[in-house]
Amino acid sequence: MHWWTLQQLKFKNPQTRRQAIEKLASEGTDESVEHLISALQDDDNAVRLAVVQALGRLKETRAIPALVQGMRDPDPEVREAVVGALMQMGDATCTEVLVGALKDLNLSVRRRAAKALDFFGWKPSNDIQRVLRFIALGEYAKAANIGTLALEPLLTALRDKQCPNRRNVVEALSQIGDERVLKPLMSALRDSDGHVRVAAVEALGSLRDPRSADSLTLSLKDQDPLVRAAAANALGAMNDNGGFDRLVASLKDLDWSVRKASVESLGKLKDVRGVEALTILLKDPDHDVREAVVASLGQIRHRSAIEHLVVTLADPQSSVRHAAAGVLKQLDPEWERSEEARLAVPALKSAMTSKEYWVRQAASDTLSKLSNTPKPEPTLNSFSDPIYYKRAAAFQALVQALADWDRDLRLAAAEALGRIADQRALEPLTEALHDVDQWVRESAEKALWRLGWEPAADGRGLAPVDGETAFIRRETLGMAKSY
């Protein structure tokens, strides 16, 4: 059987050779170990991997020199298995080889080597070894804390598409504070991973280098709104007045977070030209954007914003109204007496007819402050009074209930229509006089009386007080009851 197993190691089929490796490993003899070591030179990656794993399970220290040579294997999976096998053997004399593996091109090999070194109790002897260990373990911020020595290893990790946390790599690079990171960070703005692009934008914003302004401007058109918002924030952090025009264009972005970021950055620039552009967004559909506009106008601190802020005192959102009141006090403690505030009167009067109660109420309060007179009552009409909509909905529901199959429901609907005293109920109540149930018919007649109807002059039924066509005779409905 042993002879046949050795013959199988020469077969062309890799699967057959792997099976032979497993048989040799199960034997565990000195001779089988020698054949396993020889098989480390096999042409097939999977066969070499099987050999390394078998030697690790056997814990044969005789195989260590051959395994060390395996750290040069072209297949990263084999190299990673070699590290694992050396750990299983528990031979600390291999630490030098494992330290070299911290520079491996493959992320998994580097991480496995770092863990193996920790297993053996190894301690870095210099800063570069500490950097390599941190990066291998994914502790990029700790590597950056060591200084510029971490720059090249971090850049290598950033270029590694297999690295799952390249965003963290970018953040670590920004901590180093070396101008050599500028170019790779600007290149990262074109990375296929949106998270990396966001991190690159934020890193450039923290560096505040004017050379990155053009690159950040291009990011304002990125397909990812998170990137665009980060770019707007970064341009504001740079405090570069050249970014004014760039940010104004982003105020029209379809995404609210981008508009909000652009608004906040314009506030940081404190450019008076921003007042006109910002006040347009006081009508933005998103209340967070409107609140940010108010805050930015407070940072710019120009009187031309007073008129618009006074109008904003009637904003539908309470937080926006409160913010506007605070900024007005900052701009002018006596803003109520200012000419700019009086320019807002037409808009406030228009707000008095709003459908929303709090808008009307806020507009009324503001107008009273401007005129120093008792506040006017908000004008209500059928379109602005919320009670109107409730009554309309109730009326329709009651009319529908008059035709319900449930006799008690029809009876209650007729009584209710009489109580609400709506002239539109005349027609449906008239039809209810034909109801199959006597009590429903009587209830409908009572309701009609409440609506202002009285017996016709000829005694043939009910007639409206305005002399319109008489109703059907009460006698035919069995309604001889007097009222």
Q: Mean pLDDT in runs of 10 for the chain (483 residues)? A: 62 78 76 79 85 84 86 92 89 86 91 93 93 94 93 89 88 87 92 94 90 91 96 86 82 95 93 93 96 96 95 94 95 92 92 86 87 53 53 74 82 82 81 88 86 56 43 38 34
CA distance 23 to 104: 32
Beta bridge partners of 455: 462
- Token output for 321: 């109204």
Confidence (pLDDT) at 467: 37
CA distance 412 to 423: 18
Contact 147, 180 (CB under 8 A): no
Confidence (pLDDT) at 471: 40
Mean pLDDT of the chain: 84
Angle of CA points 156, 159, 160, to nearest 5°? 90
**Going from the N-terminus, what domains does the chain have, and what CATH number goes with each?**
1-123 (1.25.10.10), 389-477 (1.25.10.10)
Confidence (pLDDT) at 132: 95
Confidence (pLDDT) at 470: 36
Contact 305, 331 (CB under 8 A): yes
Model-wide pTM > 0.85: no
